Amino acid sequence: MDADYNVQDFVLGLPALHGQHSGNNIAAIVENTLENFSVTPETIGYFVLDNAYNNDTAVDYIAGVYGFNKAERRLRCTCYIVNLAAQEVIYSKDKEAFENADKNIPVSIIAAYERVTNAYK
């Protein structure tokens, strides 16, 4: 928040992580970035990440450095969770049925696709 109590959003760009994407390596990059932007325990915000365990490890470390409760600041990416749920519904019984191989696509669909694409040549 600014001095007038207006919420301020700042998205920080992280440098490329070369090497293993372990929680400790991620934490080191995040910690360095937060220091470079003068982020303090009073100004640190929330972490929106996918469900990978290495993200938990990274936020756990950062929480220790900045003194916050990681359960309150580590948020799950809703789009990622919805994507996982949709994949489970779609692919749970026969994932191969959804491959884009010609053998899985009805001839009528292929013909319609070819008519449309040929119209724009």
- Is residue 41, in this structure, part of any structural domain at all? yes
Residue-wise pLDDT tens digits, 77-88? 888 778 877 877
> Under a CB-based contact definition with an 8 Å cutoff, are residues 37 and 56 in contact?
no
- Is residue 62, in this structure, part of any structural domain at all? yes
State the pLDDT at residue 48.
86
Residue-wise pLDDT tens digits, 7-20? 887 777 788 888 89
Tell me the CA distances in angstroms from 55 to 52, 61, 70, 96, 120, one per residue in order.
6, 10, 11, 31, 46
- Average pLDDT value for residue range 95-101: 62
- Is residue 15, in this structure, part of any structural domain at all? no
> Under a CB-based contact definition with an 8 Å cutoff, are residues 25 and 19 in contact?
yes
82 and 107 part of one domain? yes
97 and 67 part of one domain? no
84 and 106 part of one domain? yes
Rounded to a whole number, what is the largest CA-CA distance in the chain? 64
Q: Helix (H, G, I), strand (E, B), or coil: what is residue 118?
A: helix
56 and 88 part of one domain? no
State the pLDDT at residue 101.
63
Query: Which residue range is the domain that position 29 belongs to?
Result: 23-76
43 and 28 part of one domain? yes
> Under a CB-based contact definition with an 8 Å cutoff, are residues 48 and 77 in contact?
yes
Residue-wise pLDDT tens digits, 57-76? 999 999 999 999 998 988 88
Q: How many domains does the chain have?
A: 2
